[in-house]
Amino acid sequence: MLKKLWLKIQKWQQLPPTQRGIVIIALPVCCLLSTVGVLIWLSASIADYEGWVRHTQRVQLEGRELLNHLIDAETGVRGYHLTQQVGFLEPYYTAAAQLPSTLENLEALISDNPHQLAHFQDLKSAVKETFQLLAQQLEEGLNPSLAEAEQRLYFYQQLEQAKQAMDRSRAAINAFMSEEDRLLVDRQQQLEALRQTNTVVLLLAVVVGLGSSGLAIHWFRQLYQEVNLRGQRLEVACDRLARFTANASHQLRAPIAAILSHVQVGLLLARQAPEQSLLRLEKVATLAKSMGQLVNDLLFLARYEGVSPPDFATSFDLVPLIEEVVQEWQETSAAGHHFHLEVPPVPLMIKGDCEMLKQVVFNLLTNADRYTPKGGTITLQLNQQGTSAVINVSDTGMGISEAALPHIFDYFYRDERVRQQGISGSGLGLAIVRQIVHLHRGTVTVHSQENQGSTFTVKLPLAP
């Protein structure tokens, strides 16, 4: 699981900066847009449900109004019957006048609900029936032809009829209102649920928004640092290139100029002093040879530049290799130095290219020889440190200035003091050393103090 996540993160870092930039911008923008979209939808739904709740409350209001009309009418008519005073009929007349508009309003309000429309029709006919009965009773009034006892019975019958009609109407209104109550509770519950969802979405949006913004800021800072680093690397590479061009042109022009001058002088002296002319030709040959070496070195460096370390198949012992190189070097080196060689009594097996590694040791010894005045001491030590073989080449020579130290492994770099003292060299020896050591997954470091000496340390992994 963690491995998969790590692989995905690695893939993310491998994406080009433009693609990562787009993702960094798109992430919070998408979060924001989707949150706004969901919130708009929720707000619209809430507004919709609020409308429905208000609608139901209006229906209930009209229903209560209707019930009030009914009660007013019935009590008014009853009061009149009991007292025979016309003043009691006022609420009845008001209710009868308002009844049609109340029924109309109610019908309009529930016209979209077929279930309630059926209830309403029951209610309407019951209420109308009640009002008709009341009107009829009023019209008929008391029957003076009846005896008192019969009149009272007739009166009670009328009251009983009115009460029954009222009960029917009440039952119809109650059925209608309880459906509205149920609807109101339903709609209020849905409204509450939507409001809660709204709050949850808002909280989630805040959490996701903060998270995605944090991630975007983190990725942005990563990208910014990476771009900065690339810029710095580019600057360093440009500096190197500028130095390389200046140094290379100097290293290439100098022998060409020398060859040209020797050839010209040689041509002039060809007749008068042929032996001198021959000397010049020999110098031309030496210069051409060193130029050839220079071109070979450059080709070697170009061939392995940026190449990742290969898996070498052959392994060999470093001890005899070093002894062989030392012998070769001693044959070519100018005498006058004290030399010490320290190698372990056990083999140190390395996987690699033995010719290349010979070149490393040879270049380091040649430099020590070249930059150490006569009488100085050169020491070569080979030993084992953990899983590495360590080669130390130290001398008691002129050392390297602090300003020159960071550049000595650059192509064609040569310390100013070296140039001024006219010490020969191409400035490619250490670049080749570094490249070969890297090809063998090793490291090369240097410690040096001006006029005290230098120590070059090469660390190579031992064969498993």
Minimum distance from residue 271 beta carbon to ligand ADP (Å): 38
Among 70, 348, 368, 382, binds ligand ADP (CB under 6 A): 368
Among 42, 216, 284, 418, binds ligand ADP (CB under 6 A): 418
Stretch that binds ligand ADP, among 79-87, 113-121, 320-328, 398-406 (CB under 6 A): 398-406
Among 78, 413, 437, 458, binds ligand ADP (CB under 6 A): 413
Stretch that binds ligand ADP, among 77-85, 111-119, 209-217, 406-414 (CB under 6 A): 406-414
126 lines the binding site for ligand ADP (CB under 6 A): no
Burial category of 159 from C-beta neighbours within 10 Å (exposed 0-12, middle 13-18, buried 19 and up): middle
Minimum distance from residue 398 beta carbon to ligand ADP (Å): 5
381 lines the binding site for ligand ADP (CB under 6 A): no
Nearer to ligand ADP, 171 or 302 (CB): 302
Give yes or no for a contact between 103 and 124, defined as CB atoms under 8 angstroms apart: yes
398 lines the binding site for ligand ADP (CB under 6 A): yes
Among 62, 179, 180, 415, binds ligand ADP (CB under 6 A): 415
Minimum distance from residue 445 beta carbon to ligand ADP (Å): 13
427 lines the binding site for ligand ADP (CB under 6 A): yes
Among 59, 95, 400, 439, binds ligand ADP (CB under 6 A): 400
With helix as H, strand as E and coil as C, how does the chain read? CHHHHHHHHHHHHHCCHHHHHHHHHHHHHHHHHHHHHHHHHHHHHHHHHHHHHHHHHHHHHHHHHHHHHHHHHHHHHHHHHHHCCHHHHHHHHHHHHHHHHHHHHHHHHHCCCHHHHHHHHHHHHHHHHHHHHHHHHHHHCCCCCCCHHHHHHHHHHHHHHHHHHHHHHHHHHHHHHHHHHHHHHHHHHHHHHHHHHHHHHHHHHHHHHHHHHHHHHHHHHHHHHHHHHHHHHHHHHHHHHHHHHHHHHHHHHHHHHHHHHHHHHHHHHHHHCHHHHHHHHHHHHHHHHHHHHHHHHHHHHHHHCCCCCCCCCCEEEHHHHHHHHHHHHHHHCCCCCEEEEECCCCCCEEECCHHHHHHHHHHHHHHHHHCCCCCCEEEEEEEEECCEEEEEEEECCCCCCCCCHHHCCCCCCCCHHHHHCCCCCCCCHHHHHHHHHHHCCCEEEEEEECCCEEEEEEEEEECC
Among 42, 287, 430, 436, binds ligand ADP (CB under 6 A): 430
429 lines the binding site for ligand ADP (CB under 6 A): yes
- Residue carrying the six token digits 């025979």: 84
Give yes or no for a contact between 437 and 358, defined as CB atoms under 8 angstroms apart: no
Among 428, 439, 458, 460, binds ligand ADP (CB under 6 A): 428
Among 69, 262, 414, 459, binds ligand ADP (CB under 6 A): 414
72 lines the binding site for ligand ADP (CB under 6 A): no
Minimum distance from residue 208 beta carbon to ligand ADP (Å): 58
Question: Cα–Cα distance between 223 and 20 in angstroms, integer?
Answer: 8
Nearer to ligand ADP, 62 or 369 (CB): 369
Stretch that binds ligand ADP, among 178-186, 193-201, 354-362, 394-402 (CB under 6 A): 394-402
Nearer to ligand ADP, 95 or 428 (CB): 428
Strands 377-385 and 338-342: parallel
Nearer to ligand ADP, 348 or 437 (CB): 437
Minimum distance from residue 290 beta carbon to ligand ADP (Å): 11
Among 397, 434, 437, 442, binds ligand ADP (CB under 6 A): 397
Residues in region 172-201 near ligand ADP by CB under 6 A = none
- How many chain residues touch ligand ADP (CB under 6 A)? 21
255 lines the binding site for ligand ADP (CB under 6 A): no
Nearer to ligand ADP, 25 or 302 (CB): 302
Binding site for ligand ADP (CB under 6 A): 367-368, 371, 395, 397-400, 408, 413-415, 418, 425-431, 454
